[in-house]
């Protein structure tokens, strides 16, 4: 039978539909509990199901309270074996006992999709853990099959310290000595069991001052790989392709990759490089956007990477300030900032009843923000200039929706963008003596909505002018009244 000329087109459309459908459900979150002020797991599960688009969660143990809380929610859990239990689980009876205690009482009412055997084992340099990592994975896989469970996959997350080289991405290779002894057998296990290779890429730990914009998905010159001819515009893609190159060198480029952790802190120690609310928003919002696009990476086009953002909450018992501030949400379940996972509400904007949510950053819009290496002194001059030029600066004054965080950089970011938008959004209006740059990532956060056109700014300015006229009129009436009285 002759095929219809529309058949290939229909196949392409169906392929695109299924790729986008799977891509739209690929963002998860790491639910850490190193804190003494978090809400009960039942409240967390209900919140994620009703208020967010998150449909998968990774936890760092097999906490029975959490497992019970997520029963019936349809949210898939990755549960973890703590590192210290790995040597014991390298024997089948112990692995069966672990499954009997941590899986069977909850599954399938609680949807469990992965068991993560430890976390970043090679980074511990513990030879006993490293030697038992793959045997424990194998025995847990066998224990699941003996329990007639075929839908739970076994893996282990790795830091990017497993690579001896990663620049350019085509040069990615595993550490010598581990490549053939550890990773080739591990990847063979993943291929045989159709389970993913899990990695924790953190551009936050790899950037230098010169590559900060590259790490944050901000405008930058990018990196060109002479071997493949590929051009990279962000570090996340480059890191994933370096892992892929290492896998391919061992003959396992067909094994799926899952991003078990990635994130950026919104606060840290004073003067800690790269740490800010603005940078956390830029990184995490663009991670969500990139993963949900389904476009893949230069070496892995059209592949969707299941990705777990770190972390769900700010955890107050972590050892350093930056570690305590990776959360998307505060313990009271209010957002630290919105990366696009909240349902049934606008993006974080002003509380004015007439305010409209910011339009998506991929709609050709641009915002003007400070460069990362600019001093507070220079930024204060920018604030003074903008706010004396007639641009509305009320939002960054005390009590304004953009007053917090109360830092020169945060206030300058809002003011410089307000000037750029009100001046007509010409590129030359975002210069400020070479202290500014344009970004496609909307820097709005919490209640602070960055305007993206002069119309809204004009409305704000008109409202401010009206308030000022009213105040002046009242003052004049008071003066006249006093004069008459005397």
Residue 420 and residue 417: Cα distance in Å, rounded?
Answer: 5
Residue 353 and residue 56: Cα distance in Å, rounded?
Answer: 34
Q: Which of 61, 65, 120, 401 is catalytic?
A: 120
- SS3 string, 44-100, reads HHHHHHHHECCCEEEECCCCHHHHHHCCCCCCEEEEEECHHHCCHHHCHHHHHHHHH
State the pairing for strand pair 56-59/76-81. parallel
Residue 466 and residue 462: Cα distance in Å, rounded?
Answer: 6
Residues in the chain predicted with pLDDT less than 70, given as ranges, are 1-25, 344-364, 372, 453-486
> Which tokens is 50 given?
């009703």
> Residue 450 in contact with residue 443, Cβ under 8 Å?
yes
* Residue 261 falls in the annotated catalytic set: yes
Residue 245 and residue 174: Cα distance in Å, rounded?
Answer: 9
* Residue 65 falls in the annotated catalytic set: no
Question: Which element (helix H / strand E) includes 257?
Answer: strand 257-262
Q: Which of 65, 139, 167, 261 is catalytic?
A: 261
Question: Which element (helix H / strand E) includes 437?
Answer: strand 436-439
Q: What is the pLDDT of residue 364?
A: 61
CA distances from 150 to 154, 182, 435 (A): 11, 25, 56
Query: What ranges make up the beta strands (E) of 103-255?
Result: 112-117, 153-155, 157-159, 163-165, 173-174, 197-200, 223-225, 230-232
Q: What is the pLDDT of residue 205?
A: 96
End-to-end Cα distance, the chain: 104
Q: What is the pLDDT of residue 288?
A: 93
Residues 6+ apart with CB under 8 A from 351: 401, 447
């Amino acid at each position: 039978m002759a095929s219809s000329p529309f058949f290939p087109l229909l196949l392409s459309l169906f392929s695109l539909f299924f790729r986008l459908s799977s891509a739209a459900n690929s963002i998860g979150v790491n639910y850490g509990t190193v804190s003494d002020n978090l809400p009960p797991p039942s409240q967390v599960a209900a919140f994620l199901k009703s208020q967010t688009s998150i449909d998968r969660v990774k936890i760092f143990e097999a906490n029975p309270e959490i497992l019970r809380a997520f029963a019936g929610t349809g949210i898939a859990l990755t549960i973890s074996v703590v590192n210290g239990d790995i040597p014991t689980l390298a024997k089948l009876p112990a692995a069966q006992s672990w499954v009997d205690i941590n899986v069977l009482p909850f599954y399938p009412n609680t949807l469990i999709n992965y068991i993560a055997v430890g976390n970043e084992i090679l980074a511990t340099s513990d030879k006993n853990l490293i030697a038992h990592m793959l045997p424990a994975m194998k025995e847990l896989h066998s224990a699941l099959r003996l329990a007639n469970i075929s839908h739970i996959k076994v893996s282990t997350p790795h830091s990017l310290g497993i690579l001896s080289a990663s620049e350019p991405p085509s040069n990615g290779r595993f550490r010598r000595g581990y490549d053939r002894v550890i990773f080739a057998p591990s990847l063979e296990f993943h291929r045989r069991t159709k389970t993913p290779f899990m990695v924790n890429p953190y551009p936050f730990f790899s950037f230098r001052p010169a590559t900060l914009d590259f790490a944050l998905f901000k405008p930058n010159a990018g990196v060109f790989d002479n071997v493949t001819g590929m051009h990279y515009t962000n570090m996340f893609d480059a890191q994933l392709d370096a892992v892929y190159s290492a896998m391919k060198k061992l003959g396992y480029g067909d094994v799926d990759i899952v991003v078990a952790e990635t994130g950026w802190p919104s606060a840290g120690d004073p003067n800690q490089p790269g740490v800010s609310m603005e940078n956390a928003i830029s990184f995490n919002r663009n991670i969500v956007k990139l993963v949900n696009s389904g476009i893949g990476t230069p070496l892995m086009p059209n592949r969707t990477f299941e990705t777990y953002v770190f972390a769900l909450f700010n955890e107050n018992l972590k050892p350093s300030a930056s570690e305590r501030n990776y959360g998307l949400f505060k313990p009271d379940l209010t957002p630290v900032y919105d990366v696009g996972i909240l349902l049934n509400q606008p993006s974080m904007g002003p509380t004015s009843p007439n305010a409209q949510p910011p339009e998506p950053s991929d709609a050709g819009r641009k915002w003007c923000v400070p460069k990362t290496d600019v001093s507070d002194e220079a930024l204060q001059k920018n604030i003074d200039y903008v706010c004396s030029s007639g641009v509305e600066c009320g939002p960054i004054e005390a009590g304004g929706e953009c007053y917090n965080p109360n830092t020169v950089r945060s206030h300058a970011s809002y003011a410089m963008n307000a000037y750029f938008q009100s001046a007509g959004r010409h590129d030359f209006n975002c210069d400020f003596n070479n202290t500014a740059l344009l970004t496609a990532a909307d820097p709005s956060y919490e209640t602070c909505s960055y305007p993206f056109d002069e119309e809204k700014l004009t409305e704000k300015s008109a409202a401010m002018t009206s308030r000022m006229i009213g105040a002046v009129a009242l003052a004049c009436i008071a003066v006249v009244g006093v004069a008459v009285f005397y």
